[in-house]
Structure 1
Amino acid sequence: MSGAQRHALSSAAANLGREFGGTFNTDTIERFLHASYDQFAAHSTVPNFLPLLAERFARQRLRALSKVEGNAHDGRPTVLFLCVHNAGRSQMAMGFFEYLAGDHAVAWSGGSEPGREVNAAAIAVMAERGIDISKEFPKPWTEEIVRAADVVITMGCGDACPVFPGKRYLNWELEDPAGKDPADIRPIRDEIEHRVRALLTELGVPARG
């Protein structure tokens, strides 16, 4: 780890401390931050962005843990989209969910075997709908994130997907967009949009458009 990365991690720890200091102690915050950093460092091709990715993922994990422990719950439904690489289907689903639900619900995504980057063709076809998922990144699922979700949507990860008793699961059978060109991904994208809209209706969440 370079000196610049250490400085960036220290800044990230300070940011998280200001946000979660009233809920978690410094050791917990730093443990989640450094664990997140290590998860991405193992396969990242953009080391300069590792501290930022680690901060973003640690923030998500701490919010999830806070909800699981009953320290924070604003009443909004939380949906977790899971696939194998968290590079295509689950990223598109999260993109549609966040765009359509706005501030009325929360969406997370993860993968059983996270890839190195989000599928470029998936980014392109989502941009055709005015939805930017280019700043997203493949990430693993963690226990607290799964436990904090109200609904877990699985897409092709099979037995590798986490199962917790009492948790509501839905399995969406969708083609994997990996290796496909935009023309072949558009039908997958459109099916994902249809399913996300139906899910929002079921959850009683108003959808834009």
Structure 2
Amino acid sequence: MSSVVTVQRQPGVLFLCVHNAGRSQMAAGWMRHLAGDLIRVFSAGSAPAETLNPAAVEAMAEVGIDISEAEPMVWTDQMASDVEVVVSMGCGDRCSTYPGTRLVDWDVADPAGQGLEMVRAVRDEIEIRVRGLVDDLVSDSDGVTEKRK
């Protein structure tokens, strides 16, 4: 005789951009800051840079979020298959779709090579989008519950 047990599972989000040095790192920083331990957070890039964008690090520090220790990394199919949502920012066709994973494309300007004012604007736009995603994931019980026999 088997019984059904409901297990709470944290939803996971993977933020992707080309270099994993600016947009995706800022989005991951915002998500960790806003959601704490409620959501598993990952970020990666299709062609990772050697280091983070210094202006992105500075812009996030201005709002009390430290992303300085993050390291750009390449995304893998395994990363994407382990999360419920993949957020793409500028990856275009390089971001595949994965069964059971929601792919969201955010049209956010690339802060690479831009001044601090532009990076601040990108940071603020990302914050608004991340807040909406946090609200969506935390209130969506289907996204956080899985049934096991």
- Report SS of the residue matched to 2:13: strand
Aligned to 1:170: 104
Distance 2:9 2:130 in 1: 19
Aligned to 2:85: 151
Distance 1:120 1:159 in 2: 27
RMSD of aligned C-alpha atoms?
A: 1.3
Aligned to 2:138: 204
Normalising by structure 2, what TM-score?
A: 0.86
Report how far residue 104 of structure 1 moved.
1.1
1:115 aligns with one of 34, 49, 60: 49
Distance 1:156 1:144 in 2: 20
Q: Is residue 140 from structure 1 mapped to residue 74 from structure 2 by the alignment? A: yes
Letter in 2 for 1:141: W
1:180-191 matches, within 5 Å, as 180-191=114-125
- The answer to which structure has the higher helix fraction is 1
- Report SS of the residue matched to 2:66: coil
Q: Following TM superposition, where does structure 1 have runs of at least 4 consecutive aligned residues deviating by more than 2 angstroms?
A: none
Q: Unaligned regions of 5+ residues in structure 2, if any?
A: 1-6, 140-149
- Report SS of the residue matched to 2:121: helix
Distance 2:77 2:10 in 1: 20
Q: Is residue 126 from structure 1 mapped to residue 60 from structure 2 by the alignment? A: yes
Q: Percent of pairs identical after alignment?
A: 50
Report which stretch shifted further, 102-111 or 156-165: 156-165
Report which stretch shifted further, 161-170 or 76-85: 161-170
Whether contact under 8 Å (2:84, 2:100) holds in the other structure is no
| Bigger radius of gyration | 1
Distance 1:76 1:83 in 2: 23
Whether contact under 8 Å (2:20, 2:72) holds in the other structure is yes
Task: Specify which structure has the bigger relative contact order, considering alpha-carbon pairs within 8 angstroms and separated by 6 or more residues.
Answer: 2
- Report SS of the residue matched to 2:35: helix
Aligned to 1:91: 25
Q: Unaligned regions of 5+ residues in structure 1, if any?
A: 1-72
Q: Across the two proteins, how many residue pairs are aligned to each other?
A: 133
